[in-house]
Structure 1
Amino acid sequence: MTNPNLADEQEPTLDPALEKVRRKMVRLLIISSLVIILGLMAVVYSIVYRVNKLSPSTSTAPASELAVPPARQSITLPAGFVVESTSIEGNRILITGTAGDGGKRMIVHDIGTGKTLTEIELK
């Protein structure tokens, strides 16, 4: 092996047992490479899916919650109702208080539609 660039010297052929092992190793290399590529594609797909799912352009809110509420509204409460607390979430307001007869009540009002959704009496 004086000059490695000579084409005269050929590599000796492998015996059948080593050739069989070499083919198995090549097959294993191809299969494992495909599995890694598919795994990376799945990760990239899930990242793109999550980014698109969480983008503000696509909203999962119902159409009634997407409507712009009127600038001014009035809520008619029962006579003698004393407001103790209020809470707002989305387009809904929860008003908790004491009615004129002394009973506790909770009123849920939808800002988008301007209507009272429910009135709950606490006993």
Structure 2
Amino acid sequence: MAAPRTSDDDKPLDPSVERVRRKLLRFMIVNLAILFIAFALVIGAFIYKSSLAPKRAVEQETQIRPPSGADAVAGTIAIPAGARIVSQTLSGKEVLLGLELADGSRSFLLYDLQAARTLGTYSVKAE
């Protein structure tokens, strides 16, 4: 077996190669420092933005309060004859009713619960 030659590793580098090695080492250190500083700034910006973000607002209370006892509200919403309600959506004081009419077509009825009046009727037609 041949013993490893250690004399090759111990030889000093050529001065020009040593200068290039030092420049590369300095370049690497500067770039890593810039990278770490940029990373710290990004993390700091995320923390800063999240600490200043407004807390989620509590959902606004609907304007219609549930009645208690004798104060119960009653009313009638007129829909076309033969129509049936297939969907409904309540938003504050307004309700949107999805209707399937007697002829099979669809329409939407927007109704104001507080004023007890129809705000609009929208027909859905295929083109």
Give the TM-score range, shorter chain: 0.3 to 0.5
Choose between structure 1 and 2 for higher RCO, CA contacts under 8 A separated by at least 6 residues: 1
- TM-score normalised to structure 1 length: 0.46
TM-score, structure 2 length as denominator?
Answer: 0.45
